[in-house]
Chain A
Amino acid sequence: MHPAPSIILFTTLSGLGFGMLAFLGLDVPAPRGWTAFWFFLIAFALAVGGLLSSTFHLGHPERALKAFTQWRSSWLSREAWLAVASLVLMGLYAIGLVFFDTRLRIFGIAGGLLSLGTVFATSMIYTQMRTVPRWNHWATPILFLAYAIVGGALLTGRVELARALLPLLLLLQVFAWIDQDRHEREDPSNIGTATGLGARGSVRAFEAPHTGENYLTKEMVFRVARKHSAVLKVITLALGMLIPAFLLFLPFHHALAAVAVLLHLAGVLVQRWLFFAEARHVVSFYYGR
């Protein structure tokens, strides 16, 4: 799949932002006053910034409000509702903490859970794609949630928790990659079922419908990552989990923690790039790639 920068930024930043909001809403003690102000500002900037960047890949962003209508069937529509609901509730919760020194507990709990729900809805947009075996897998929602939670713990300064979660995330990610490889290998679709000619012999794409590219080959038949996938996976693990965990085990300093957060962010960006670039869409069988 084509790794569009707007989508990679969106899933990474909004994942971190909503993970942070989940901690701010659910965890005690809640920050107050100016501390709360800065925490909520960063969380909202990440979540809203991510959502805005997702509109850049739309052909008609001016019609984006229509995406709220189909929540009965569409995960994208559900994501839109959950995002707005969690941002509104967490906004009210933040106003209470920052300006009135009051903790509106119900708003925090509901907003925190809805924030995790938003991340889950985002992940289900990809998980539901039967056409992309690597996404149509248990690991997609689990990893999206795990990255959001670990990022949220890092960004809200839960050092103890982050120390424990980073190695677990590393193990989860490695296991997920191995199982996704297996799942993709075992997918029943191939050029034989795509053409219905598989029982007659070995099928080969002889001639494409056209000599150039088209929307499908650009969007869904992307192949650059596979060659470098092992190196990029090592980079993901090093930047995303290993080095941040190491930095957190050193004597605590705000500068070290900030470096850990930035490295983690870079690691997640590489992971997300791979998530798209490595995923194979079944339509590529028709193009013999």
Chain B
Amino acid sequence: MTTLPQHTEKSLGLVIDLDTCVGCHACVTACKGWNTENYGAPLADTDAYGANPVGSFLNRVHSFEVQPESGPAQLFHMPKSCLHCADAPCVTVCPTGASYKRVEDGIVLVNESDCIGCGLCAWACPYGAREMDPEEQVMKKCTLCVDRIYNENLPEEDRQPACVRTCPAGARHFGDLADPDSDVSKLVAERGGIDLMPEQGTSPVNQYLPPRPRDEAPEFDVLAPYLEPVAEEPTGFLGWLDRTLSKVS
């Protein structure tokens, strides 16, 4: 049913630390690897070794440059996947009931055998979290590795999404954001986690931790302003060289 649940027992999701992410794309590779071999249709690539390779991914890393009013520009890497929104617009537009939000943990999933591949859910998502698989022609999206997190055949430390498990920088965290005592909720409270595009009214579950303020370069010597300025024009041997070379060139 593509009406949204009034309430979910848990709100499982990711917390992504923009201060820690180094932009290595390991989460992209781990995600593609796990989700190609497990739940649902494999994530296809077309023309993979040709001139114009295109494929479906559930997680992609963008890089943004921020130019503050003063000082040098800063660079941030932003991994982006489904935010498992509480008010997921992708779910309600689905005509077949293939898209749904789970009552037990809030994960947004696609039942691929019901998907007609109309693409409306991808239009409805402001975050670009859904991609049509070029081979299977069904909509693919992050499952929060639903086939890992409850999988008792895996060692306990592996029962988390592949992207979180693989992140070498520790920039990704997984947990229940509806539980105020969970590690992820504490992290969000401590660091002031934010919603992406809150004005879209989607109430995303995934949170992004904003970068901490950067250090400022200190004034290196209090006496420096009183020193004689260095000569602007070269003198002596360098001055002669400069004048001579200027004549030649």
In Å, the complex CA distance between A201 and B122 comes to 30
Contact of B95 among A80, A131, A213, A286 (CB under 8 A): A80
Taking the closest CB of chain A, its distance from the CB of B212, in whole angstroms, is 11
A229 within 8 A of B: no
In Å, the complex CA distance between A125 and B119 comes to 12
B96 touches A202 (CB 8 A): no
A174 within 8 A of B: no
Assess A1 versus B123: contact at CB under 8 Å? Given A70-B1, A70-B95, A197-B64.
yes
A72 within 8 A of B: yes
B175 within 8 A of A: no
Which stretch, B72-80, B164-172, B216-224, B241-249, touches the partner chain A? B72-80
B95 touches A209 (CB 8 A): no
Q: In the complex, which residues of chain B have a beta carbon less than 8 angstroms from the beta carbon of A69?
A: 95-97
Q: Which residue of B lies closest to A4 (CB)?
A: B119
In Å, the complex CA distance between A198 and B25 comes to 24
Q: In the complex, which residues of chain B have a beta carbon less than 8 angstroms from the beta carbon of A234?
A: none
Contact of A194 among B60, B66, B73, B197 (CB under 8 A): B197
Q: In the complex, which residues of chain B have a beta carbon less than 8 angstroms from the beta carbon of A212?
A: 52-54
Q: In the complex, which residues of chain B have a beta carbon less than 8 angstroms from the beta carbon of A66?
A: 95-98, 114, 116
A76 touches B120 (CB 8 A): yes
Q: Mark A233-274, 1 if CB is under 8 A from B, else 0.
A: 000000000000000000000000000000000000000000
Q: Which residue of A lies closest to B198 (CB)?
A: A193
Taking the closest CB of chain B, its distance from the CB of A279, in whole angstroms, is 10
Taking the closest CB of chain A, its distance from the CB of B27, in whole angstroms, is 11
In chain A, positions 130-147 with a C-beta closer than 8 Å to chain B are 130-132
Taking the closest CB of chain A, its distance from the CB of B35, in whole angstroms, is 15
Q: Which residue of B lies closest to A192 (CB)?
A: B66
Q: Which residue of A lies closest to B96 (CB)?
A: A66
Which stretch, B127-135, B142-150, B183-191, B229-237, touches the partner chain A? B127-135
Taking the closest CB of chain A, its distance from the CB of B126, in whole angstroms, is 5
A59 touches B2 (CB 8 A): no
A195 within 8 A of B: yes
Which interface residue of A125, A189, A209 has the most chain B CB atoms within 10 A?
A209
Q: In the complex, which residues of chain A have a beta carbon less than 8 angstroms from the beta carbon of B151?
A: none
B117 within 8 A of A: yes
A131 touches B126 (CB 8 A): yes
Q: Mark A198-213, 1 if CB is under 8 A from B, else 0.
A: 0011111111111011
In Å, the complex CA distance between A63 and B137 comes to 12
A214 touches B118 (CB 8 A): no
Assess A200 versus B66: contact at CB under 8 Å? Given A74-B92, A76-B95, A77-B95.
yes
B11 within 8 A of A: no
In Å, the complex CA distance between A223 and B125 comes to 19
A204 touches B64 (CB 8 A): yes
B65 within 8 A of A: yes
A286 touches B120 (CB 8 A): no
A185 within 8 A of B: no
Q: In the complex, which residues of chain B have a beta carbon less than 8 angstroms from the beta carbon of A57?
A: 118-119
Taking the closest CB of chain A, its distance from the CB of B22, in whole angstroms, is 13
Contact of B78 among A61, A67, A195 (CB under 8 A): A195
Taking the closest CB of chain B, its distance from the CB of A237, in whole angstroms, is 28
B174 within 8 A of A: no
Contact of A283 among B2, B52, B65, B128 (CB under 8 A): B128
Q: Which residue of A lies closest to B209 (CB)?
A: A196
Q: In the complex, which residues of chain B have a beta carbon less than 8 angstroms from the beta carbon of A287?
A: 62
A286 touches B62 (CB 8 A): yes
A220 within 8 A of B: yes
A172 within 8 A of B: no
A53 within 8 A of B: no
B75 touches A206 (CB 8 A): yes
Q: Which residue of A lies closest to B194 (CB)?
A: A196
A215 touches B134 (CB 8 A): yes
Q: Which residue of A lies closest to B128 (CB)?
A: A283
B3 within 8 A of A: yes
A227 within 8 A of B: no
Q: In the complex, which residues of chain A have a beta carbon less than 8 angstroms from the beta carbon of B123?
A: 1, 129, 131-132, 219-220, 281
Q: In the complex, which residues of chain B have a beta carbon less than 8 angstroms from the beta carbon of A77?
A: 95-96
Q: Which residue of A lies closest to B63 (CB)?
A: A207
Assess A219 versus B97: contact at CB under 8 Å? Given A202-B67, A204-B64, A206-B75.
no
Known contacts A197-B76, A201-B73; 12 further A-B pairs (Cβ under 8 A): A69-B95, A70-B1, A74-B2, A131-B124, A202-B67, A203-B66, A204-B67, A209-B28, A214-B56, A214-B57, A215-B131, A281-B123
Chain B interface residues toward A at CB < 8 A: 1-3, 18, 25, 28, 52-57, 60-69, 73-76, 78, 80, 89, 91-98, 114-120, 122-128, 131-132, 134, 136-138, 194-201, 208, 210-211
Chain A interface residues toward B at CB < 8 A: 1, 57-61, 63-64, 66-67, 69-70, 72-77, 80, 125, 128-132, 188-189, 191, 193-197, 200-210, 212-216, 219-220, 281-283, 286-287
